[in-house]
Structures are given as C-alpha cells and as structure tokens.
A and B are shown apart, each in its own frame.
Chain A
Amino acid sequence: MKLNRRAFIGTGAAAAAALQAPMVWGATDGRPKVVVIGGGAGGATVARYLAKDSKGEIDVTLVEPSRQYYTCFFSNLYIGGFRDLSSIAHSYGTLAAEYGVNVVHDWATGVDRDAKTVTLAGGAVLPYDKLVLSPGIDFVDGAVPGWDVSAQNRMPHAYKAGSQTELLKAQIESMPEGGRFAMVAPPNPYRCPPGPYERVSMVAHLLSQINPTAKILIVDPKEKFSKQALFEEGWNSHYAGMIERIGPDFGGDKVEVDPGEMTVTIDGVVEKVDVCNVIPAQKAGRICEIAGVNDGNWAPVNGHTMVSRIDGNIHVLGDATNQGDMPKSGFSANSQAKVAAMAIRGELTGSKVFPAKFSNTCWSLIDADDGVKVGASYEATDEKISSVASFISQTGEDASLRKQTYEESLGWYAGITADMFG
C-alpha cells in the first residue's frame, strides 16, 4: 500500500487504524519533531497533549515570545476589578519541567515549507516534521482610519492582554468626572464575539463605582452582536443611562479616529472623548501569512484534524483559522488543539485516531455575580466544523442562577489554564 501524506490525511481514522507500524521521519535523535508557534490556548494545549500523550516519543518545541502569558479571557474582569493582573498571568515552567516541552522564547520570523524549517528572530533554524501555527490575531492595517499600532498607547486596543489591558484600565481610572469612554467595536469575524460587550459591562461597573456620571459610547459596525439581548437587559438594569451604542444604521460603520486630538468621527460628526478603546478588524497572526497558509485573512483548515488546506504538514489552531461554525475563542482553540494533537500523534507514532469532537462555551460577566453564557458542541464534516447543539442563557433568569453561572466561569478558568499550562 502506497501512502502519501495527503491521502493519509484525507482518509483519516480508517487509514490510521490500518497503519500499525509507527511512521517516523528523520530527526537527529530519531524522534519526530513538532514545532508549535504561539503559546496561548491553542499552542500551549497542543504542546502539552503531544508531549504528555506521546510519553516522550515526540520532540515538542514551543516558540512563544512572552515569558509571562496573560490570558485574554478574564482580562475584562481585571478591568472591572474582579481579578488582579497576576491572577491571569501564566508561565511555561511546568510545560518544560514536567512535560519535557522545549520552550523557546523568541519570535518566529520565517517558515520554509519545502525544507520544513522555522527561522527565529534570534537566528536559530528549527527543523520540523509537523508544524502547528497558533498565533492568534493581528490587526488589519487601515481598518480604522486614523489608527495604527503606533497610536496604541493613546488609544489602546487591549485585545492582546497584558500591558495594553493595564494601560486601558489606568486611563479609565484617570478619566475626568463625568467624562466619556468610547469603544470602536470590530466587524465580524473577530476574537471572542462577546468580548467587546463584556468589556463595556466591566468598564461600566468600574465607572459606576469611581465615576458614576461618566458615559460610555460604543461605535459598532455590526447590526447585531453576541448575547445582545442579555447584555442590553443587564446594561438597563445595572447601568441605566450610562451606555449608548451607535450601530451601522446611525453611522457606526463609518468611523475614524484622531489619537492626537482624542476624537472619534462618526459619519462626519466629531465626538470628543477621554478614553478611546479601538478594537480594529482582525486577521490571522502574521506568521500564517509568512507561511503562506492563508486564504484571505484567515488560514483554512480541515476540521477532521485541523490540518491546513494548503500544506499537509502544517496544522493551524484557534483564532487564526477559518474552520466553520466555531467562534474565535480560547475555549475553541483549546478544543481544537486536542483534536490536532490526537491527529498528529496518530500520524507520527501510529497511535489510535478517533473522530474529532469540539466544544465551546463563552461566559461573560455583566456585573458582580451576574454571569451569562453561550456555547455549542461541534463535529467535523468534510466541508467545515459544524454546530450540532447549542445553548444560551435566557433573559430574566434569577440571581442565584446568574451567580452560579459566574462561579462556573471561575471553575472553567481554573480548568482550562491547568489544561494549557499543566
């Protein structure tokens, strides 16, 4: 039986079951090599599962520039005052010490798909048998006229957590009494669909305590947004009169900003603001473009294994992918990572391959003890990852259920971060 790798990927579980002998490609110590780029919910998880489940049979290298990783999920809770920053910070020591992952703190700057090597900014060249790209998002140049990353200290995006989140919170805390916070919300698709609206809730919570006459303006190019009825119900009951949203019917899709003047211009009308949180349109992290696995702004993947539709030796995870019905979320990336780890391990060591199953739940906090959630379970088809069942919190739920939903999110945070970092 002749087996090229493409055909192998295409036939999936049946072929893997038929294949008894481990397939091992050349590597200096004989072990197959997997290089993972990006140490977030997708990358850290896939590195950990590959190392753990292969019991050392696979040489796993994780390339991540940050020594300290701040989760984007729960970073809004830091803004609201419900978490401190250190509680959303994680490091990679356990992955290295307990799982044997080779953690390299550097930027990946090049991928040679023919030679199967990754080049790092520091000059090192890493050979791979399988490459996993999990770089998250970058911003589309020129998406919000007047804004680029050089303006991110005047108008933070805070959509990659850490110093940006800290900066945004400090700016909100020093707003003048009765001042105005503006958010330029992103168009679809983007990381964490309820994220901007949870952020507005958390900003409102903070302001209602320290600056209760302050106002919040959302400039939104989208007609509808995730959990809209739940957020709007919560804003009315907790923060009445504080939040105004301008959708596309009133020019929310025709926005430009002036970071020097601190103005937001909406369909020609200039608004002076005190803090401006610009969340621009998004695309796959830059390394996907460098590797040439994008089609448009995102990297298309086969949902059975998360393998790139452009290169059979590259898997792509999380926000960077175009996969079908799953939202861009940390939960999704973590879920996809386990499917990818199983598929990669099957190919490299001949371990059993099972059908892909995915899930996602996004919790959002509206005010203290007022948590809501939305989610679904998914399966892979040849065309895409498809939703098979979904659920969402209801308006009018009582306080004890909302509190329980919030407490569930705390449990999930502990669970997923342990699943990522060990």
Chain B
Amino acid sequence: MKTGVPSVLAGLCLAIGAWVGAAAADEIGDAENGERIFRKCASCHQVGQGATHRVGPHLNGIFGRRAGTVDGYGKYSDGLLRAGNDGLIWSLEKLHAYLENPKYLVTGTRMNFAGLSDAQDRADVLAYLRQFSDNPANIPEAQPTAIAPEVELPPGILALVGDPEYGEYLASECTTCHQRDGSDQGIPSITGWPQEDFVIALHAYKRKIRPHPVMQAYAGRLTDDEIAALAAYFAGL
C-alpha cells in the first residue's frame, strides 16, 4: 500500500500542473516570470524588503488583507475604500480579477491599469507577489479552487444596445438610493457613468465578484438586456 500513495499524489500534481499551466504543483504560477511581468506594475508599486508607498501602496502582505487597509497609504479611491468595507479581501481569486481588469472590482479605482488579459501572466505575477505575503491561509493547497475563472465579459454582452425607455423604468428602482443629481453622500453616484463601466459593474455584482450584498441582490435578477437598458439610461442623464 505504501507505494500507492505517492502515485496518487503524483497524479494529482500532474492534474494541478496542467490546470495552472507550466507551474509546479505547490506554486500558483512561475514567480521568476512574474518578477519580469511585475516591471509593468513597478512604476507605481514596490514590493519586498524596504518597499515603501509610491503612487500606489506597497504590496507586502497583500494576500489575505482587506482592500484599502494598508498602514500609511492615504491615496485610496472612495470606491476602493468602500469595497474594503463591503468585505473585499485580497484573496488569490480577487487579485486575479483585479489584475484582469481593475474595473471589475472597483469602479473609479485609481489603479489606472489596462489589465493582464493572459491568465498565466496573472498567475505568475501573483506567484511572485505571494513570496512577500506570509498569510498561511493563502497557501494555494488550502484553496484548491482558488484559480479564478475569467471575469472578462463576452463581447456580446458589452455590445448589447439597451432600450432607454425600459432603462428609465428600471432606473426608478436605483434612484431610491442613488441620487439622480449625482450627489454621492454615503451611496456612490451612478449618474453619467460610461455605459461599459456600468455594464461591467452590474455584471460583477450579479456574479458576486463584487461584495456588496444589496447590489448583489438587486443585480442578481437583472437580465443582460436589462443591464444594457440601465446603462443606456444612466449614461444619457
């Protein structure tokens, strides 16, 4: 029986290896390659011994941290702070989503970054960053399903043309809380948002990628057409 155990493990390692690409089973990606890709990030972020806040916060210890809470960094966007309070924790899955397109998680984020569309690139950067986080909860084996699904919306959803008249009716549900005049006391303004940002944000709530429970409940029952209709209406205000 003793010989059977390693062979099972080996099979498992192979499966995981195939799943995340070329990386070894105990890694989430290739940290060496990640370090190279991180040069794209380094104009704003430092990581490692002696890292300090620059345009963006340093990234030491980011795994497992609540968004918007690193000590001494005072330049977070309102949206990121709100997301942190809503319960956004930087898990491997959320970091994957944020790196794919920061707007999926936070509308109005100050992280002005086009995103890494290649899942392997993201995995590699995150493998590199994880070397500077020591939160044991983020050892990948503890999160076997943590490799994020792609959050990119199919092009068809973004191309839908909304019916503004339907949007106006549906919007009456939003304006009970989101003030039409653009005030953002306590609740963010959604008036005049670009349509694409609006569609991305509502789908992120609908798919529970974003944490806010009220928005998850309201967006969860909107169809793709209804989201497009709302986006068309609010963009035109």
Question: Residues of A at under 8 Å CB distance from B?
Answer: 49, 53, 331, 334-335, 338, 342, 352, 354, 357-359, 361, 373, 375-377, 379, 388-391, 400-401, 403-404, 407-412, 414-416, 418-419
Question: B172, A338: Cβ atoms under 8 Å?
Answer: yes
Once A342-B169, A391-B213 are accepted as A-B contacts, the answer to whether A415 and B177 lie under 8 Å apart by CB is yes
Q: Is the interface of B mostly helix, strand, loop or mixed?
A: helix
Question: B176, A389: Cβ atoms under 8 Å?
Answer: no
Question: A411, B179: Cβ atoms under 8 Å?
Answer: yes
B189 to chain A: closest CB distance in Å? 10
Question: A411, B173: Cβ atoms under 8 Å?
Answer: no
Interface centre among B172, B179, B220 (most CB of A within 10 A): B172
Once A400-B85, A411-B186, A418-B179 are accepted as A-B contacts, the answer to whether A388 and B172 lie under 8 Å apart by CB is no
A403 to chain B: which residues have CB within 8 Å? 85
Task: Kindly state whether residue B26 has any CB partner on chain A within 8 Å.
Answer: no
Once A354-B166, A391-B213, A400-B85 are accepted as A-B contacts, the answer to whether A414 and B179 lie under 8 Å apart by CB is yes
Say which residue of A338, A377, A414, A419 sits within 8 Å of B217 (CB atoms).
A377
Closest to B213 in A: A391
B217 to chain A: closest CB distance in Å? 4
Q: Kindly identify, within residues 74 to 119 of chain B, every residue whose CB is under 8 Å from any CB belonging to chain A.
A: 82, 84-87
Task: Kindly state whether residue B142 has any CB partner on chain A within 8 Å.
Answer: no
Once A401-B87, A404-B82, A414-B183 are accepted as A-B contacts, the answer to whether A377 and B218 lie under 8 Å apart by CB is yes
Question: B187, A408: Cβ atoms under 8 Å?
Answer: yes
Closest to B176 in A: A416
1/0 per residue, CB under 8 A from A, across B183-200: the answer is 111110000000000000
Question: B176, A377: Cβ atoms under 8 Å?
Answer: no
Instruction: Give Cα A414–Cα B175 distance, bound, in whole angstroms.
Output: 10
A400 to chain B: which residues have CB within 8 Å? 84-85
Instruction: List 10 A-B pairs, minimum CB-CB distance, nearest first.
Output: A411-B186, A411-B187, A391-B213, A407-B186, A389-B217, A338-B172, A404-B85, A410-B186, A412-B177, A415-B177
Task: Kindly state whether residue B147 has any CB partner on chain A within 8 Å.
Answer: no
B58 to chain A: which residues have CB within 8 Å? none
Once A379-B221, A389-B221 are accepted as A-B contacts, the answer to whether A419 and B186 lie under 8 Å apart by CB is no
A342 to chain B: which residues have CB within 8 Å? 169
Say which residue of B169, B170, B214, B216 sits within 8 Å of A361 (CB atoms).
B214
Can you identify 11 A-B contacts, CB atoms within 8 angstroms?
A: A342-B169, A359-B176, A375-B214, A391-B214, A404-B82, A408-B187, A411-B183, A411-B184, A412-B177, A415-B177, A418-B175
Question: B172, A49: Cβ atoms under 8 Å?
Answer: yes
Question: B218, A338: Cβ atoms under 8 Å?
Answer: no
Number of residue pairs A-B, CB distance < 8 angstroms: 94
Instruction: Give Cα A359–Cα B183 distance, bound, in whole angstroms.
Output: 21
Instruction: Give Cα A88–Cα B180 distance, bound, in whole angstroms.
Output: 20
Q: Is the interface of A mostly helix, strand, loop or mixed?
A: helix
Question: B214, A415: Cβ atoms under 8 Å?
Answer: no
Question: A377, B186: Cβ atoms under 8 Å?
Answer: no
Interface centre among A331, A335, A389 (most CB of B within 10 A): A389
B214 to chain A: which residues have CB within 8 Å? 361, 373, 375, 391
B186 to chain A: which residues have CB within 8 Å? 404, 407-412, 414
Apart from A338-B173, A361-B214, A377-B221: 15 A-B pairs, beta carbons within 8 A: A357-B170, A357-B173, A359-B218, A377-B220, A389-B216, A390-B217, A407-B186, A408-B187, A409-B186, A411-B179, A411-B187, A412-B177, A415-B187, A419-B172, A419-B175
Interface centre among B166, B176, B221 (most CB of A within 10 A): B176
Say which residue of B170, B177, B217, B220 sits within 8 Å of A416 (CB atoms).
B177
A209 to chain B: closest CB distance in Å? 24
Instruction: Give Cα A411–Cα B183 distance, bound, in whole angstroms.
Output: 8
Once A377-B218, A401-B87 are accepted as A-B contacts, the answer to whether A419 and B176 lie under 8 Å apart by CB is yes
Q: Kindly identify, within residues 194 to 237 of chain B, every residue whose CB is under 8 Å from any CB belonging to chain A.
A: 213-214, 216-218, 220-221
B179 to chain A: which residues have CB within 8 Å? 411, 414-415, 418
B181 to chain A: which residues have CB within 8 Å? 418
Question: B169, A391: Cβ atoms under 8 Å?
Answer: no
Task: Kindly state whether residue B165 has any CB partner on chain A within 8 Å.
Answer: yes
B177 to chain A: which residues have CB within 8 Å? 361, 408, 411-412, 415-416
Interface centre among A49, A373, A390, A404 (most CB of B within 10 A): A404
Closest to B168 in A: A53
B82 to chain A: which residues have CB within 8 Å? 404
